[in-house]
A and B are shown apart, each in its own frame.
Chain A
Amino acid sequence: MSENPDLAPKGSFILIMVFFASFVLFYLLNWKQLAAIWHVG
């Protein structure tokens, strides 16, 4: 990675964080749906 701060891939870092957030949200929504459909106990 370049030491020049202008060349640091800041935009990609933000996009990857959006990707991770989407991942977590989708994962939670699916667990929530599973919990709603399949009651345990």
Chain B
Amino acid sequence: MAAKSEKFRTCPTTGFKIHGPAETLIQINAVTAIVFLLVGGIIGLALALTRWQAIHLLNDTLFYRLLSLHGIAMLVAWIIFFEMAILYFASAVVLSARLAVPWLGWLQYLLMLVGGAIVAVQILLGNADVMFTSYVPLQAHHLYYLGIILFAVGAILGCVVFFATVVAAKTEGAHTGYLPLVTFGAAAAAIIAIGTLSHGAIVFIPTWLWAAGLVPMMDVEVYRLIFWGFGHSSQQINVCAMVAVWYLLGTLTVGSVPLNEKVCRSAFVLYILFINIASEHHLLVDPGLSAAHKTWNTGYFMHLAVLASMIHAFSIPAAVEVALRKKGYTKGAFEWLKKAPWGNPGWSALVLSLIGFGFLGGITGVVYGTEQINIIAHNNLRIPGHFHATVVCGTTLAFMGITYYVLPLIFRREVAFPQLAKIQPYLFGIGMMVFSTAMMFAGGFGVSRRSWDMNGVESAFAVDFGPVVDIALAIMGIGALVGAIGGALYCVIAVATLLIGKKINA
């Protein structure tokens, strides 16, 4: 027992009892996530500077190859490695419990790292120029699919460790009563993750065998249907984890408490039940599915998940407003907002993430996911504009905000360059909002996504979009540059904190 208790330390600020193996796994997953963010971010900037027609940086081969890697590095590796850190934090740290089966946590990390490395190497070798969706009959080297399978299995193991830790915390008495809202939200994310990653395994195992020559054919319609159970649903894990982080940031920055926790928990349950159905909007122009199927999924069920987002969209601002009003900022409707801690990067990241996700990503997602409207948005720049607003302005910025609390709590270092940390969320958030908005604006003119030659100069059907689109794409590029500076600052601050940040003694 003595040896077991020695593995815990108590945080002097929060009072959390932190289990040593959990702390190590949180650290290594978070650091790996940031490395992938750095790689994916540099590639993202190069891609944006290629879509900026006046620069057109990369050649066509490199553009499509790096676009594939950008999707995997950002949408899968950065986000899911960071989510593993969040799952261990929301279970072992928030519940002040021991991390159950740490060796399984290490296996999670190794499988994800090896899988991610295999995928990246195959793309860079030119063996997998199939983009993020890898739609069959496009075929990559079989190792590419094996890498994704290993990554997905690793992530599932991380979810198993999370649930095992929660069960251990309850049965061993480390935590009694209801789960804290943050842990509840993380549990919802983990449930969605298991369904999502299972879809990944179901679709990629036969595709892997097909690429290896052991299966004669793949059905393209079935592939697309199951792929999006993985491809889009993986972003729904992000939504769930991001909302959990929003609640945590509200508490950490201004001491907010949800006004009605039961309603918030119900919203998470709505996510579990209905958010994966939103994946169907990727198939709205597919001829193989019936109109009734599409309408039921994207016209009815999807809106029950949207309802959950609406609940959180009111619950979180209302909770932080009440917390600030309790501090005496009660004049008029917005004194609380004026007096909010705008110099705290956790707060500014929370607010910008809410605005970016809600106003830019959320509204556009629901509208573009409407069956009729989808026909004018499908596969043009509106779609990446929408999901950069959700995943970058929303999820990534929220994860950046929580990092400023994870660094002192888990890494026991004071945040380096605190003045730069104050402006980092603004640079990143505003830059990426400009980027996303300009991208959607250009898409409104029909500019296609994933296209190195948007004017079709080398095709029989050349299109001249005119100067308005050129200006929009230039603004998009400027937004990407500003956002990249903010992203680079985040990486510099995080790495500098680890290397030269002042140690905090527990």
> Which A residues from 1 to 41 make CB contacts under 8 A with B?
1-2, 6-7, 9-16, 19, 22-23, 26-27, 30-31, 33-34, 37-38
Quote the shortest CB–CB distance from B375 to chain A (angstroms): 7
Judging by beta carbons under 8 Å apart, are A30 and B314 in contact? no
Among B260, B333, B358, B364, which residue has its beta carbon within 8 angstroms of that of A10?
A: B333
Q: Is the interface of A mostly helix, strand, loop or mixed?
A: helix
B interface, size bucket: 20 to 34
Judging by beta carbons under 8 Å apart, are B317 and A9 in contact? yes
Interface status of B330 (Cβ within 8 A of chain A):
yes
Among B313, B325, B367, B372, which residue has its beta carbon within 8 angstroms of that of A19?
A: B313
Among B313, B336, B375, which residue has its beta carbon within 8 angstroms of that of A16?
A: B313
Judging by beta carbons under 8 Å apart, are A37 and B376 in contact? yes
Interface status of B296 (Cβ within 8 A of chain A):
no
Judging by beta carbons under 8 Å apart, are A34 and B333 in contact? no
Cα A34 to Cα B376 with chains together (Å): 7
Interface status of B318 (Cβ within 8 A of chain A):
yes
Which A residues touch B23, using CB under 8 A?
none
Which B residues touch A27, using CB under 8 A?
367, 370
Judging by beta carbons under 8 Å apart, are B334 and A11 in contact? yes
Interface status of B373 (Cβ within 8 A of chain A):
yes
Cα A10 to Cα B449 with chains together (Å): 41
Judging by beta carbons under 8 Å apart, are B333 and A26 in contact? no
Q: A16-B314, A19-B359, A22-B363 are in contact. Are A9 and B322 (CB under 8 A)?
A: yes
Among A2, A6, A9, A26, which residue has its beta carbon within 8 angstroms of that of B367?
A: A26
Which A residues touch B317, using CB under 8 A?
9, 11-12, 15-16
Which A residues touch B372, using CB under 8 A?
31, 34
Cα A34 to Cα B330 with chains together (Å): 45
Cα A16 to Cα B260 with chains together (Å): 17
> Which B residues from 345 to 383 make CB contacts under 8 A with A?
358-359, 363-364, 366-368, 370, 372-373, 375-377
Judging by beta carbons under 8 Å apart, are A11 and B333 in contact? yes
Q: Is the interface of B mostly helix, strand, loop or mixed?
A: helix
Q: A7-B326, A26-B363 are in contact. Are A19 and B321 (CB under 8 A)?
A: no
Which A residues touch B367, using CB under 8 A?
26-27, 30
Cα A1 to Cα B359 with chains together (Å): 25
Judging by beta carbons under 8 Å apart, are B444 and A9 in contact? no
Which B residues touch A6, using CB under 8 A?
325, 330
Among A12, A26, A37, which residue has its beta carbon within 8 angstroms of that of B364?
A: A26
Which A residues touch B252, using CB under 8 A?
none
Judging by beta carbons under 8 Å apart, are A7 and B363 in contact? no
Cα A19 to Cα B364 with chains together (Å): 12
Q: A1-B259, A22-B363 are in contact. Are A12 and B321 (CB under 8 A)?
A: yes
Quote the shortest CB–CB distance from B400 to chain A (angstroms): 23
Judging by beta carbons under 8 Å apart, are B375 and A38 in contact? yes
Judging by beta carbons under 8 Å apart, are A22 and B333 in contact? no
Cα A24 to Cα B333 with chains together (Å): 23
Cα A13 to Cα B321 with chains together (Å): 10
Quote the shortest CB–CB distance from B298 to chain A (angstroms): 14
Interface status of B500 (Cβ within 8 A of chain A):
no
Cα A6 to Cα B324 with chains together (Å): 11
Cα A11 to Cα B334 with chains together (Å): 6
Cα A23 to Cα B372 with chains together (Å): 17
Interface status of B167 (Cβ within 8 A of chain A):
no
Which B residues touch A33, using CB under 8 A?
376, 444
Q: A1-B259, A12-B317, A19-B358 are in contact. Are A7 and B322 (CB under 8 A)?
A: yes
Judging by beta carbons under 8 Å apart, are B322 and A2 in contact? yes
Judging by beta carbons under 8 Å apart, are B330 and A31 in contact? no
Which A residues touch B260, using CB under 8 A?
1
Cα A2 to Cα B372 with chains together (Å): 43
Q: A9-B317, A9-B321, A14-B333 are in contact. List 19 more A-B contacts (CB 8 A).
A: A7-B322, A11-B334, A12-B314, A16-B314, A16-B317, A19-B313, A22-B363, A26-B367, A30-B367, A30-B368, A30-B370, A30-B373, A30-B376, A30-B377, A31-B373, A33-B444, A34-B372, A34-B373, A38-B376
- The 5 A-B residue pairs with the shortest CB-CB distance in the complex, in nearest-first order: A9-B318, A12-B317, A6-B330, A11-B333, A9-B321
Residues of B within 8 A of A (CB): 259-260, 313-314, 317-318, 321-322, 325-326, 330, 333-334, 336-337, 358-359, 363-364, 366-368, 370, 372-373, 375-377, 444
15 CB < 8 A contacts A-B: A1-B259, A2-B322, A9-B321, A11-B337, A12-B318, A15-B317, A19-B313, A19-B358, A26-B364, A30-B367, A30-B368, A30-B370, A30-B376, A33-B376, A34-B375
